[in-house]
Copies of this chain bind each other. A is one copy, B any other.
Amino acid sequence: MKVSSNVEEERAVATIADLGERGVIELVRSRMPAQWASDSRVRIGVGDDAAVLTTRGDCVLCTDAVVEGVHFRDQWSTGADVGVKLAARNFIDVHVMGGHPTALVVSLTAPADTAVSWVEDFADGLVSECTRAGAVLVGGDTTAGWSLVASATALGDLRGKPAVTRAGAQPGDVLALAGTPGRAAAGLAALMAGAIQHVDATLIAAHTRPQPDYVAAEHAVLAGATAMIDTSDGLLVDLGHIARASSVTIDIEPEALPVNATIAHAAEMLKHDLRSWQYAGGEDHLVAATFPHHDVIPDGFVAIGTVSVGAPEVLVRGEPWVGSAGYEHFR
């Protein structure tokens, strides 16, 4: 990682081999805000065999990882971007269950020649996104490995309410989406094409440093969302999870999908089909939810489809989508 290209530079770059495992843990700990030490939810934080947290009733638990060369590339993303992306993809999963993130633990596998500055940035990214989500980093683990792999587990609090699952969508519900789909895919396409100067920087950031709309998920819960998911693998794939779990047909109206000028411009510049980004682009982490009536859909959401009795599938204006539906690992 960021190994320099000649011997002189190489000497100048401190690596985690200089720090050792315990030095890396201390480094991350030193980047954490002082007030976390007195957070009332944390009885024991970083530094023992395990953390101890106060919990109230049911808790939400999820895990997700980012892998160098799969979810990020060193030349495109800073350590801070990777820290933000890792934390964000976990916290939005907590939110779309109806939970509020409380804590994060992180496991970092890294080559010994990883720059210390990369780990500093990574820690800062984790802290930044934990702060945005109202959660605390309470523990972790770091091990040597062949490439950068960072996984995290987020814990959340349902605050006494029932979870919102993928299985609650009912025929007659309205499907709504918060945000413009396809932005992360557009950013990734620009990076892959070496054409970032031709697209808006917010699209690049949508891929490298996602900022999911946690508040939208909270509003959806308050509005009585019957089912909820975040669009991580692609809009149609993720809606398919709701369709199958709820045993309903979801029909989306293409003209209703939010499009903005930046993504339309990017599609033109990169000569890419806008719809395929919107239907199949991964890592947007937008909140998609079903609601019992049009008039309860909260601000920030746009109605994009309907839920009806039928085969558990997703249709686009009554027809199956024939393009790629989304991303799947190992395929």
Q: Which residues of A contact B (CB under 8 A)?
A: 16-17, 19-22, 24, 43-44, 47-55, 57-67, 69-71, 93-94, 96-97, 99, 103, 105-107, 109-110, 112, 138-147, 149, 151, 153-156, 158, 163, 165-167, 228-230, 245, 328-331
Contact of A44 among B71, B144, B163 (CB under 8 A): B163
- Complex-state Cα separation, A149 to B21, whole angstroms: 17
- Complex-state Cα separation, A158 to B228, whole angstroms: 32
- Complex-state Cα separation, A328 to B145, whole angstroms: 13
Residues of B within 8 Å of A328, CB to CB, are 20-22
Q: Are B163 and A65 in contact (CB under 8 A)?
A: no
Contact of A51 among B20, B60, B112, B146 (CB under 8 A): B60
The minimal Cβ–Cβ distance linking A119 to chain B, given in whole angstroms, is 10
- Complex-state Cα separation, A61 to B51, whole angstroms: 5
The minimal Cβ–Cβ distance linking A73 to chain B, given in whole angstroms, is 13
Q: Are A140 and B63 in contact (CB under 8 A)?
A: yes
Q: Are A109 and B65 in contact (CB under 8 A)?
A: yes
Q: Are A145 and B147 in contact (CB under 8 A)?
A: yes
Q: Are A139 and B62 in contact (CB under 8 A)?
A: yes
Q: Are A145 and B330 in contact (CB under 8 A)?
A: no
Question: Contacts A55-B55, A163-B52, A329-B142; is A63 near B153 (CB within 8 Å)?
Answer: yes
Q: Are B20 and A230 in contact (CB under 8 A)?
A: no
The minimal Cβ–Cβ distance linking A225 to chain B, given in whole angstroms, is 13
- Complex-state Cα separation, A26 to B154, whole angstroms: 22
The minimal Cβ–Cβ distance linking A68 to chain B, given in whole angstroms, is 8
Which 3 pairs from chain A and chain B are nearest by CB? A50-B62, A153-B153, A21-B329
Q: Are B65 and A151 in contact (CB under 8 A)?
A: yes
Question: Contacts A63-B140, A147-B145; is A93 near B50 (CB within 8 Å)?
Answer: yes
Contact of A58 among B53, B62, B69 (CB under 8 A): B53
Nearest-neighbor residue (CB-CB) of A99 within chain B: B50
Residues of B within 8 Å of A19, CB to CB, are 330
- Complex-state Cα separation, A65 to B139, whole angstroms: 13
Nearest-neighbor residue (CB-CB) of A94 within chain B: B50
The minimal Cβ–Cβ distance linking A230 to chain B, given in whole angstroms, is 7
The minimal Cβ–Cβ distance linking A246 to chain B, given in whole angstroms, is 12
A-B contact sample (16 more), CB < 8 A, given A63-B105, A109-B149: A44-B165, A49-B166, A50-B94, A52-B58, A52-B163, A53-B58, A53-B59, A54-B57, A63-B106, A63-B107, A65-B141, A67-B145, A67-B146, A70-B144, A146-B146, A155-B155
